[in-house]
Amino acid sequence: MAESNANNSLRLISYADLAQLRLQGFLGGAAELDVEESGMMVVVGLGGYERFGETFFGWRQGEPYQTAEVTLDLGRDSELPDESARQIIERLGLPVRKGATASELISTFGPPQKDKKGRPGTRLLDFVCGEGEQYLLGCVVDDHDGLVHIFFARKDYCDEDDSI
């Protein structure tokens, strides 16, 4: 698949650095996380996760606490503080912001692999991004609030599991 020049210039987090990320590190010690160590279905296959509200950091079974996927809830009812969301997005190397429009995302990442309507008032955009170490990037864009949800995962794991 051909990728846009904009997409090829991205400097995304490496798989090794992603593996070291912990949700708690972006929330501070006072936040209580729901942690499931293994046996749950996550996007990268059977595994576990750290969860705060609807925000998840997930890993594959057999690789505990080796983050391979990040799901960010950016909606207006999100429990994730805006500053934490901004820091996570920055650490992942994604040049996006909460509230971005679909046209801004397409301008940044090139034509989406998938572009479909979601629940009423939303659009789902799926991109493949990165050089060498590639990621699947899923974005939910609301007609009124813009970017409200991000899914970011190692593409190699998703390809193996064929769960996307």
Q: What are 133-146's pLDDT values in tens digits?
A: 999 999 999 999 99
Q: What is the pLDDT of residues 73-119, one digit of tens each?
A: 999 999 999 999 999 999 999 999 999 999 999 999 999 999 999 88
What is the domain extent for residue 10?
A: 5-161
Q: How confident is the model at residue 9 (pLDDT cuts 50, 70, 90)?
A: low
Q: How large is the greatest C-alpha to C-alpha distance in the chain, in angstroms?
A: 45
Residues 154 and 68: beta-carbon distance below 8 Å:
yes
Helix, coil or strand: residue 2:
coil
Residues 113 and 127: beta-carbon distance below 8 Å:
yes
Amino acid at 127: F
Q: How confident is the model at residue 25 (pLDDT cuts 50, 70, 90)?
A: very high
Output the pLDDT for position 44. 81
CA–CA gap between residue 63 and residue 37 (Å, rounded): 10
Output the pLDDT for position 3. 41
Helix, coil or strand: residue 108:
helix
pTM, entire model: 0.89
| Average pLDDT of the residues of the chain | 89
Give residue 41's Cα distance to chain centre: 16
Q: 50 forms bridges with which residues in the sheet?
A: 35, 57
What's the domain count of the chain?
A: 1
CA–CA gap between residue 23 and residue 14 (Å, rounded): 17
**Who has greater pLDDT, 5 or 37?**
37
DSSP 119: S
**Is the pLDDT at 164 greater than 60, yes or no?**
no
